[in-house]
Chain A
Amino acid sequence: MALLHIAEPGMSAEPHKHRLAAGIDLGTTNSLVATVRNGIAVCLPDEQGRTMVPSVVRYRTDGSIEVGQSAVRAHATDPKNTILSVKRLMGRGLRDVAHVEAMPYDFMDSDGMVRLRTVQGVKSPVEVSAEILRVLAARAEASLGGELTGVVITVPAYFDDAQRQATKDAATLAGLNVLRLLNEPTAAAVAYGLDNAAEGVYAVFDLGGGTFDLSILKLSRGIFEVLATNGDSALGGDDFDHRIFCWVLDRANIAPHSREDGRRLLMKAREAKELLTVCEEVPIKASLQSGEEVNLVLTRDEFAHITEHLVRKTLAPMRKVLRDAGLAPEDVKGVVMVGGATRMPHVQRAVAEFFDQEPLNNLDPDKVVALGAAIQANVLVGNRKDEDDWLLLDVIPLSLGLETMGGLVEKVIPRNATLPIARAQEFTTYKDGQTAMAFHVVQGERELVSDCRSLARFELRGIPPMVAGAARIRVTFQVDADGLLSVAAREMSSGVEASVLVKPSYGLSEHEIAEMLRQGMDHAGDDMTARALAEQRVEAGRVLEAIEQALAKDGELLDARERMQIDQSMAALRATLDGADHHAIRQAIDTLSRATDEFASRRMDKSIRGALAGRNINEIEV
């Protein structure tokens, strides 16, 4: 007989219509599955009460497949057929994978994703991930007593289109209905209920077994945007274990050691690390095969001391991610801790000091991502009402924007925005009497149009002639759930319209997307300078044109000396335009505008006199 769970008021499901949903944290080192039961998100354990499944798949010669703990044990004896950290290979070609040489697998390069030769034939990372998902789904179905309606799977915020698609394909292969891929930091924030909290900026500090990811999220109207991500793909809890291991070798004066002794000591190191979270000091005792005895005591202070450089490694990404997001530590409203390694007191302390606030850590950091995914899955299958903004799917892999004066990109829809989405932005005319405007739709992270990909061009004609800056042209970008982009421009006073339909990812291969993203990050500094320079040039052009027009019209208001001074300043500004120094252009603009202050106020007086001349005082409305 089916067992019942307590539903939210008025939300009892019809018999046989229970919609079972699960959230899956498909991690590099470990994976978890969670669900919402009795109104609470819980991770589902196996028969032994373990919630974590090591993300390890072993293909055996007899045709069977092992996943999890038992596969981990086989890693030492059967490395070629025991696949670890397959997540690093998802959606990647052989060239894109870092440290291929360090992996024991028999790689096969192919056009798309890298493949692995195993005793059971050639396997793609998608197939390997599907095996992990199958095990998690089977556990969920056994625990929930029914078939899953749908799942939410989490992916790192920096995953591109190809990696996301590969994750989705793995789920399909495992027979799962993916309700949504959710960014891991977003899932963690959801688990803490931040989506119900006030709007603001949050940081997610994720120190896992072997990777460190840092994300800055902005919450507005119940939707999380990923503002920036950073991290270190080769920093994690395992490095802390290794430091203790080295410390033990050094203190006990032992080396070299056998493989078995090494494994044993590393395990002791790990235990010591975990115990130090709750104890001030721990004994490390071991009898080695070599006959040597280890008998040491490690204190919390000593541990903090020997791993200080590892903690310091997290600081640079923290500073950088904030700089990328254009924020200071005090702008961050809350810090969410994810990953078992964040339990270490000195890591907590470093984060607290950096952001000057206590991080959120009352949920289990190993489970928090899966719990958030479960909460989202529960909403998406319709087990909770009062949600409307929630049914958002997918994200934009690269920002979409428009070319503006000076070859700059104005981003309208940022990268990682959830789909479907519509964003509008107002633009204006650059010249007096301008009646048409050309729009150039581009995609990419760089600041200059020439570095981004051109998607479409269209024109808006019939703008009523107005002075520069008076026209209000509203440009709307809309991307539907299938990733189709339409761009419409509308002049607000006359209502004239023009639009174009484009498919944003058309023609962009995975590789190109990855390359463009990488360049965007690498060139962030250059781009800022290029942007500043282009902006100042545009501004200088605008100022010069306005003054020329004014001189042509009201030049007689100036005496020869004043006129000469203005001409000189204008010449000085023009001279700076050929250079590449945006500060010099800015200074020249400032000098010119000071030189024309007096002229401007005389013109003002003149036009007021002109407006008032010949009119009776009573005719002038106040």
Chain B
Amino acid sequence: MGITLSDSAAKHVAGFIAKRGKGIGIRLGVRTSGCSGMAYKLEFVDEPEEGDLVFESHGLKVVVDPKSLPYIEGTELDFVREGLNEGFRFRNPNVKNECGCGESFNV
């Protein structure tokens, strides 16, 4: 279990961190908000906070705060392209339903 990155996500994350010029990895998390109760958080990490859990995937550090973990345990972060748009998608086994736009969800 834990949190993993797909090959494509790992490649892009590594590229973005390199171009940004700093950062030790990325943070995945959730917070309560949005039309379906919770929303994902996806941020660069410059330094982990106390209590953070750190996973390794494809040699990259994936940081999760302990409160978020139960909601996203087992998630694989993927990078997809849809027409001109491209970006990250959480493949989260815990999700029961999402709002229409997919920006928020509940478990």
Q: Is the CB of B34 within 8 A of A8?
A: no
Within 8 A of B (CB), among A410-446: none
- Given contacts A3-B82, A3-B87, whether A40 and B42 have CB atoms under 8 Å apart is no
How many B residues have CB within 8 A of the partner chain? 35
Q: Which of A6, A44, A46 is in CB contact (< 8 Å) with B16? A: A6
Minimal Cβ-Cβ distance residue in A for B83: A142
Q: Is the CB of A9 within 8 A of B20?
A: no
- Given contacts A11-B43, A15-B104, whether A5 and B87 have CB atoms under 8 Å apart is yes
Q: Is the CB of B83 within 8 A of A39?
A: no
- Given contacts A2-B101, A7-B44, A8-B43, whether A14 and B84 have CB atoms under 8 Å apart is no
Minimal Cβ-Cβ distance residue in B for A18: B103
Does A619 have its Cβ within 8 Å of any Cβ on chain B?
Answer: no
Q: Is the CB of A40 within 8 A of B16?
A: yes
Q: Which of A37, A38, A143 has the most CB of B within 10 A?
A: A38
* Interface residue range, chain A: 20 to 34
| Bound-state Cα–Cα, A144 to B83, Å | 10
Q: Which residues of chain B are within 8 angstroms of A144 by Cβ–Cβ distance?
A: 85
Chain A min CB distance to B26 (Å): 6
Q: Which residues of chain A are within 8 angstroms of B46 by Cβ–Cβ distance?
A: 9
Does B19 have its Cβ within 8 Å of any Cβ on chain A?
Answer: yes
Q: Which residues of chain A are within 8 angstroms of B16 by Cβ–Cβ distance?
A: 6, 38-40
Minimal Cβ-Cβ distance residue in A for B86: A3
Q: Which of A4, A8, A9, A144 has the most CB of B within 10 A?
A: A4
Q: Which residues of chain A are within 8 angstroms of B87 by Cβ–Cβ distance?
A: 2-5, 37, 145
Residue interface mask A1-37, B partner, CB < 8 A = 1:
1111111111110111000000000000000000001
| Bound-state Cα–Cα, A570 to B56, Å | 88
Within 8 A of A (CB), among B22-71: 26-27, 31, 33-35, 39-46
Q: Which residues of chain A are within 8 angstroms of B93 by Cβ–Cβ distance?
A: none
| Bound-state Cα–Cα, A139 to B84, Å | 8
Q: Which of B13, B34, B87, B98 has the most CB of A within 10 A?
A: B87
Q: Which residues of chain B are within 8 angstroms of A4 by Cβ–Cβ distance?
A: 40, 42, 87-90
Q: Is the CB of A16 within 8 A of B35?
A: yes
Minimal Cβ-Cβ distance residue in A for B82: A3
Q: Which residues of chain B are within 8 angstroms of A250 by Cβ–Cβ distance?
A: none
Does A47 have its Cβ within 8 Å of any Cβ on chain B?
Answer: yes
Q: Which of B41, B84, B103 is in CB contact (< 8 Å) with A2? A: B103
Within 8 A of A (CB), among B77-107: 80, 82-90, 98-99, 101-104
| Bound-state Cα–Cα, A7 to B40, Å | 11
| Bound-state Cα–Cα, A15 to B19, Å | 26
- Given contacts A3-B80, A6-B26, A14-B33, whether A39 and B86 have CB atoms under 8 Å apart is no
Chain B min CB distance to A454 (Å): 52
Q: Which residues of chain B are within 8 angstroms of A2 by Cβ–Cβ distance?
A: 87, 101-103
Q: Is the CB of B42 within 8 A of A1?
A: no
Q: Which residues of chain A are within 8 angstroms of B26 by Cβ–Cβ distance?
A: 6
- Given contacts A6-B13, A8-B43, A16-B103, whether A40 and B84 have CB atoms under 8 Å apart is no
Q: Which residues of chain B are within 8 angstroms of A16 by Cβ–Cβ distance?
A: 34-35, 101, 103
Q: Is the CB of B35 within 8 A of A15?
A: yes
Q: Which residues of chain B are within 8 angstroms of A14 by Cβ–Cβ distance?
A: 33-34, 39
Q: Which residues of chain A are within 8 angstroms of B85 by Cβ–Cβ distance?
A: 3, 142-145
Chain A min CB distance to B106 (Å): 12
Chain A min CB distance to B96 (Å): 15
| Bound-state Cα–Cα, A144 to B85, Å | 6
Q: Which residues of chain B are within 8 angstroms of A143 by Cβ–Cβ distance?
A: 84-86
- Given contacts A3-B80, A15-B33, whether A40 and B20 have CB atoms under 8 Å apart is yes
Q: Which residues of chain A are within 8 angstroms of B101 by Cβ–Cβ distance?
A: 1-2, 15-16
Q: Which residues of chain B are within 8 angstroms of A46 by Cβ–Cβ distance?
A: 84
- Given contacts A15-B103, A16-B35, whether A5 and B42 have CB atoms under 8 Å apart is yes
Minimal Cβ-Cβ distance residue in B for A46: B84
Residue interface mask A294-329, B partner, CB < 8 A = 1:
000000000000000000000000000000000000
Q: Is the CB of B84 within 8 A of A12?
A: no
Q: Is the CB of B89 within 8 A of A6?
A: no
| Bound-state Cα–Cα, A348 to B48, Å | 44
Q: Which residues of chain A are within 8 angstroms of B88 by Cβ–Cβ distance?
A: 3-6
Chain B min CB distance to A21 (Å): 16
Q: Which residues of chain A are within 8 angstroms of B27 by Cβ–Cβ distance?
A: 9
Q: Is the CB of A7 within 8 A of B43?
A: yes
Minimal Cβ-Cβ distance residue in B for A145: B85
Q: Is the CB of A1 within 8 A of B102?
A: yes
Minimal Cβ-Cβ distance residue in B for A38: B16
Q: Which of B13, B101, B103 has the most CB of A within 10 A?
A: B103
Q: Which residues of chain A are within 8 angstroms of B20 by Cβ–Cβ distance?
A: 38-40
Q: Which residues of chain A are within 8 angstroms of B82 by Cβ–Cβ distance?
A: 3, 145
Minimal Cβ-Cβ distance residue in A for B33: A14
Q: Which residues of chain A are within 8 angstroms of B31 by Cβ–Cβ distance?
A: 12
| Bound-state Cα–Cα, A101 to B51, Å | 73
| Bound-state Cα–Cα, A309 to B85, Å | 45
Q: Which residues of chain B are within 8 angstroms of A142 by Cβ–Cβ distance?
A: 83-85
Q: Which residues of chain A are within 8 angstroms of B33 by Cβ–Cβ distance?
A: 14-15
Minimal Cβ-Cβ distance residue in B for A1: B102
Q: Which of A11, A15, A47 is in CB contact (< 8 Å) with B39? A: A15
Chain A min CB distance to B28 (Å): 10
Chain A min CB distance to B60 (Å): 12
| Bound-state Cα–Cα, A2 to B90, Å | 11
Q: Which residues of chain A are within 8 angstroms of B44 by Cβ–Cβ distance?
A: 6-9, 39
| Bound-state Cα–Cα, A38 to B88, Å | 10
| Bound-state Cα–Cα, A47 to B86, Å | 13
| Bound-state Cα–Cα, A6 to B99, Å | 21
Binding site for A on B (CB under 8 A): 12-13, 16, 19-20, 26-27, 31, 33-35, 39-46, 80, 82-90, 98-99, 101-104
Listed from nearest, the 5 A-B pairs whose CB atoms lie closest are: A3-B87, A1-B102, A15-B34, A15-B103, A143-B84
Between-chain CB contacts (< 8 Å), 25 pairs = A1-B89, A1-B101, A1-B103, A2-B101, A2-B103, A3-B82, A3-B86, A4-B89, A5-B42, A6-B26, A6-B43, A7-B43, A9-B27, A9-B45, A14-B34, A15-B34, A15-B39, A15-B101, A38-B12, A40-B20, A45-B84, A47-B84, A142-B85, A143-B84, A145-B82
Beyond the given A2-B87, A14-B39, A143-B85, could you list 14 further A-B residue pairs with CB under 8 A, ordered by the A residue number?
Answer: A1-B102, A2-B101, A3-B85, A3-B87, A4-B90, A6-B42, A7-B41, A7-B44, A15-B35, A16-B34, A38-B20, A39-B20, A142-B84, A145-B82
